[in-house]
């Protein structure tokens, strides 16, 4: 009995090549940074190679700064270097602000590298609807070696303890938050090779009359008395996450 497929069929075998049947795989092979977690539809991404100013930088404390850097990069030759202040709020934040988007399960992914110890690194999706602010937030605490989320009452709640990330090495880490902005609940957190399900957990809502928009925020908090630093690269925003 004959087997296989007709001549010239698209599933025909090859000796020296293998067909790429996944368009996501094709995009990655062509240079897309969307390689760690390919779920969701990409709204936009930034590898920080372009000098166009598209972000706000919020600084807190003496010596706080934010600027592009060629010292380290996850892809290409450039990253963004956050330097936290040594006093006050001790932070440095990169803020990408977008107009209101269709409410769905939204993802925020970032690669980050730690030249030294820090207090904490956060990712935050903040939706403003004209009357309220809805705030989904993940926190990696270097002090406690914990991954946390901010609960509805504003309390940082432990997702996983014992997470000790590499410091002062060229190693990059990947952190992704997925949150449902229809039900205003968390969906999942991803840190490197580990995924943590957070279904149905509500995130904080506060009264806020700022004009409708969505902010994607990446924040470094320094230790008191230090100007700690963190490189970030390959920012990816997704929608319609499964």
User: Which domains does the chain show, CATH number per domain?
Assistant: 40-239 (2.60.120.200)
Q: How many Cβ atoms from other residues are within 10 Å of residue 182's Cβ?
A: 10
Per-residue model confidence as pLDDT tens digits over 39-98 = 789 889 999 998 877 899 999 999 999 999 999 999 999 999 999 999 999 999 999 999
The answer on pLDDT for 25 being more than 90 is no
Q: How confident is the model at residue 171 (pLDDT cuts 50, 70, 90)?
A: very high
């Amino acid at each position: 009995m004959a087997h296989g497929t007709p001549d010239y069929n698209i599933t025909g075998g090859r000796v020296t090549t293998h067909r790429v049947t996944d368009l996501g795989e094709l995009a990655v092979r062509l240079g897309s940074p969307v390689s760690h977690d390919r779920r969701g539809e990409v709204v936009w991404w930034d590898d920080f190679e372009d000098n166009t100013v598209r972000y706000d930088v919020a600084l807190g404390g003496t010596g706080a700064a934010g600027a592009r850097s060629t010292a380290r990069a996850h892809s290409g030759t450039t990253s963004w270097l956050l330097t936290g202040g040594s006093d006050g709020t001790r932070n440095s934040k990169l803020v990408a602000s977008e107009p209101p988007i269709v409410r769905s399960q939204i993802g925020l992914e970032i690669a980050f590298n730690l030249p030294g110890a820090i207090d904490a690194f956060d990712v935050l999706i903040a939706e403003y609807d004209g009357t309220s602010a809805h705030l989904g937030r993940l926190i990696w605490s270097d002090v406690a070696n914990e991954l946390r989320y901010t609960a509805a009452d504003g309390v940082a709640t432990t997702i996983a303890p014992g997470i000790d990330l590499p410091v002062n090495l060229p190693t990059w880490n990947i952190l992704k938050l997925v949150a449902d902005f229809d039900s205003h609940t968390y969906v999942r957190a991803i840190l490197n090779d580990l995924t943590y399900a957070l279904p149905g957990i509500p995130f904080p809502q506060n009264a806020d009359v700022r004009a409708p928009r969505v902010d994607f925020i990446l924040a470094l908090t320094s230790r008191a008395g230090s100007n700690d630093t963190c490189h970030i690269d390959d920012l990816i925003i997704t929608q319609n996450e499964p």
